[in-house]
Amino acid sequence: MGDQDLSAELSNQGYQLVGRHSAVKTCYWTRQSLLQGRDCYKGRFYGIQSHRCVQMSPAIDSCNLHCRFCWRNQGWENDEPMPEYDDPETLLDRSLEAQQRAVSGFKGEGEVLEARWDEARQPRHIAISLTGEPTLYPKMNRFLELCHSRGITTFLVTNGTNPDALRHLDPLPTQLYVSVTAPNEVLFRKLTLPAHDDAWQRLRESLGIVRHLRTRRVIRHTLVRGWNLGWEAQYAELDSLARPDFIEPKGYVYMGKSRQRLSQLHAPTHEEIRGFARRLAARTEYRILDESPESKVFLLGLREEGRYLPGLGPVEAAAS
C-alpha cells in the first residue's frame, strides 16, 4: 500500500491494513453476532458463525472490474503483478491478529457473553472477499492450505474473470462464490466497466471450470433495479454452464461508495428479488430453499442432491 492518502482513508473506514496489499475489516454481522446473537445469511444458509468469521482480502488494491454497485473505494485499482507479495504464513497470522484486535473491544459490552467473545478470538471461518479480486494474489493456494491446516474454513469470492487461477486452485476453498452480475456481454460491460476487452469471455470460461470443481459452489447474482434485474432466461443459461450447488439472487444495497454512482432507486426490494428468484427457478432445475429478508437474498438449490443442510457447519456440509 504505497498511497498514504488511500491508506489513511481506508483506516478511517475501519480497515486494518495487513502487510503490503491486504486488509481485514470487522463486518456488521460480526458485531450483530457478538452483541445480539444474530448471524448473517451465510449463517442461516451454510452454518457460518458470524462472530468467528474474518472478513479479509489479500488484494485490497487489485481489481480488474469497476462495478457501479460496488460499495468499496474505486479509482486506484490495478491488476498488474506487484514486485513482491507477502508470504501466506505472515498474511494469515497478521489477519488473525487484526481480527483479535478488532473484537477485543467488545469484551464486557452490552449483552456479550464472555464465552462468545472467547470464540470470536478464535476464528473458524475466513471470507476472502472484502475488496479487490482475491484470485490476483498469486499465493492463494498456500494461503488456503494454511487456513485448512488450522481448522479454518474458507469462503473465496471471485468475479470469475481470472479462469487460470480457478483452474489451478489446489486445495479448493471450502466454498467458492462466483459473482455473475450481468445476463449478457452488453450489460456486463456497462455495469462492471471491465479493464480487459475479453472479461466476459473469461467469465464464461470460469463458469465451465466451476462445473467440475469438487467443493461447494455458489453463483451469486447481485441485482440492480434498472440495470440487470430481469433477463432470467439469460441468467439461467449462464447458471447452466456452472451447474453450481446453489444460486443466490441478492439485491443491491445503496451504501458506501456506490452512492456516488447509483441512487436509492436502483436498490430493489426483497419482493422484487423474490419475483426474480421464482422466475429463475421456473427456468432451471433449482428451487427456492430459503431466504433472508434482511439481506434481500434468496437461496436456490437442487434439493434432491441433499446439499442444503441448514445449521450444519460448513466443513461437514461441504463434505456431505
pLDDT at 79: 59
Secondary structure of the chain as H, E, C letters: CCCHHHHHHHHHCCCEEECCCEEECCCHHHHHHHHHCCCCHHHHHHCCCHHHEEEEECCCCECCCCCCCCCCCCCCCECCCCCCCCCHHHHHHHHHHHHHHHHHCCCCCCCCCHHHHHHHCCCCEEEECCCCCHHHCCCHHHHHHHHHHCCCEEEEEECCCCHHHHHCCCCCCCEEEEECCCCCHHHHHHHHCCCCCCHHHHHHHHHHHHCCCCCEEEEEEEECCCCCCCCHHHHHHHHHHHCCCEEEEEECCCCHHHHHCCCHHHCCCHHHHHHHHHHHHHCCCCEEEEEEHHHCEEEEECHHHCCCCCCCCHHHHHHC
pLDDT at 320: 32
pLDDT < 50 positions in the chain: 1-2, 304-320
Count the residues in the chain: 320
pLDDT at 107: 73
- pTM for the predicted model, two decimal places: 0.90
Nearest CA to 301 out of 257, 266, 249 is that of: 249
pLDDT at 316: 43
The 10s digit of each residue's pLDDT in 99-143 is 999 888 887 666 777 788 889 999 999 999 888 899 999 999 999
pLDDT at 225: 98
| φ, ψ at 158 (rounded to 5°) | -135, 155
pLDDT at 183: 98
The rounded distance, in Å, linking the Cα atoms of 275 and 285 is 17
Q: Domains in the chain, start-ordered, CATH in brackets?
A: 4-319 (3.20.20.70)
Which grid cell is 162? 481470472
